[in-house]
Structure 1
Amino acid sequence: MTTITLLTQSSCTSCEHAKEVLARLTREFPLQITEIGLATEEGFALAARHGVVFAPGVLVDGDMFSYGRLPEKKLRRYLSQQHPAGNANA
């Protein structure tokens, strides 16, 4: 299972887009998604550690994947390599 941490802030259209993308991908791949607000102590620390310049920040298995508008094709390609069979039930 792939763990995705989504660093968000309020009134963020790119954050809403990221949530929609992740909801779609959850139907295709085994994902565990955690959303953390950038305004929280934990969110601020993660953003600083990983160089998240603006929301949303996306960490995949604890590593920086992207910030700003989530590139769905890039994430789908990455997940396909990690889970060749796809299948959210795997």
Structure 2
Amino acid sequence: MRGNRRSHAMRRLMRRLPGNTTTTHFVRRRPKYAHCPITGQVLHGVPRLRPAQVRKLTKTERRPSRPYGGKISHTALANAIRAKVLEDRN
């Protein structure tokens, strides 16, 4: 086995080939869920894909289409808006 395939960063998939032989295919593992840097919540609407696969998606499939979508959670955004509104009132 090649050295770069010995680590468990690569997932091992057993595949049966047409000649009735089995072989091992190595695939990079899926990344963890994206998290909000402020609240630590999982960001919904952000796909769990490798960067090369994310590039193939359409713009609307990559992240939510709200302000700061895919960067911070809806809770953090709501808190920031509330803080801004209260600041403007004073």
Structure number with higher relative contact order (C-alpha < 8 Å, ≥ 6 residues apart): 1
Which structure has the larger Rg? Answer: 2
With structure 1 as the length reference, what TM-score do the two structures score?
0.23
Which has the larger share of helix? 1
With structure 2 as the length reference, what TM-score do the two structures score?
0.23
